[in-house]
Homo-oligomer: A and B are copies of this chain.
Amino acid sequence: MSFPKRSKKIINLEDAVKNINKGDTIAIGGFAIYQRPMAFVREIIKQKIKNLTVIGVTNSIESDILIGANSLKSIETSYVGFEKYGLAPNFRNYAEKGKIKVIDYPELICIDRFRASQENLDFWPAAGLGGTDIVKLNKNIKKFLCPITKKILHAVPAAKPNVAIIHALAADEFGNIISPSYKNMAQSLDILISRSCENTLVTVEKIVSNNFIKKHPNLIEIPNHRVKSISLAPFGAHPTSMLGKYSDDEEHWNEYIRASDNNESFKKYINKYIHSSKNNDDYLNKIGGAHLSSLLQVDTQK
């Protein structure tokens, strides 16, 4: 007997990015300088989607590059910086010129905002915000009293992203995503945001068989029904790292930072790596096979 076929969720990165509309509020997976869906972000820039808002936790190059490409109107986060690589140059420059709206939240509260969305709450009850300028400058945070003890709390608005974008290890063609069992913040937050939004777009290092998924069912923390599309993008987090798979590309980070020194050099950078690259494969060829190989890690930890 022949049965109807399951739908495949694999689409080209180019088509995946068409799910993002001008003015959208997006959550971008990863954490700080780790495991950012950079191939996806580059394609957003290539398609010149503008007026976006990033809702984040700790942000770095994935937002800085969008800022430098004039794609962001605002960012809500606890941090924009490059950790060991210093301050985020475009973020700083645009913020100081008043060209981007920055809404500050504490780090844990940024995570809570996604937890609220995950659980279908419109707010999260936060203690410890009283007296800060975080509250004073943000009309969307409402003071309220604990309904039981009358202690002072603040209701922080849920994240409510329109679209979530994450980069993951692997997926089958139906959209079941493999997360490593040894996780850190980047993967934990990816899982969280996939549960906070009905439009989760995923890039993966590898497409694996459904049998591979069935061999590792305990690694499926993002099941197919939380995923809208899968796009293949090897080294899709470059120049950020993917712990256990590849290190961050220090050389490229420095090239980026040098390019961010002024408008002209940044335009040149964007042009070279994004607008004049046909696709992710083309980008990877520009980075170079030998150089990419040098970033690969050895990982025996599952």
A contact set with B: CB distance below 8 Å = 120-123, 125, 127, 140, 142-144, 146-149, 151, 155, 157, 181-182, 218, 301-302
The reply to whether A123 and B148 form a contact with Cβ atoms under 8 Å apart is yes
Residue of B nearest to A218 (CB): B182
The reply to whether B144 and A122 form a contact with Cβ atoms under 8 Å apart is no
Contact of A155 among B142, B146, B301 (CB under 8 A): B146
Number of copies: 2
Residue of B nearest to A157 (CB): B148
With A and B bound together, what is the CA distance between A122 and B146 in angstroms? 7
Output the least CB separation between A106 and chain B (Å).
Answer: 14
With A and B bound together, what is the CA distance between A182 and B181 in angstroms? 9
With A and B bound together, what is the CA distance between A301 and B181 in angstroms? 12
Main SS of the interface on chain A? loop
Contact of A121 among B121, B122, B123, B125 (CB under 8 A): B125
Contact of A181 among B120, B125, B146, B181 (CB under 8 A): B181
With A and B bound together, what is the CA distance between A73 and B118 in angstroms? 37
Residue of B nearest to A112 (CB): B119
With A and B bound together, what is the CA distance between A142 and B122 in angstroms? 18
A127 contact set on B, CB distance < 8 A: 120-121
Q: Which of A121, A301, A302 has the most CB of B within 10 A?
A: A121
The reply to whether B147 and A155 form a contact with Cβ atoms under 8 Å apart is yes
Output the least CB separation between A216 and chain B (Å).
Answer: 11
Task: Identify the 10 closest CB pairs spanning chains A and B, nearest first.
Answer: A147-B155, A144-B147, A122-B149, A142-B147, A123-B148, A122-B148, A122-B146, A148-B155, A123-B146, A148-B157
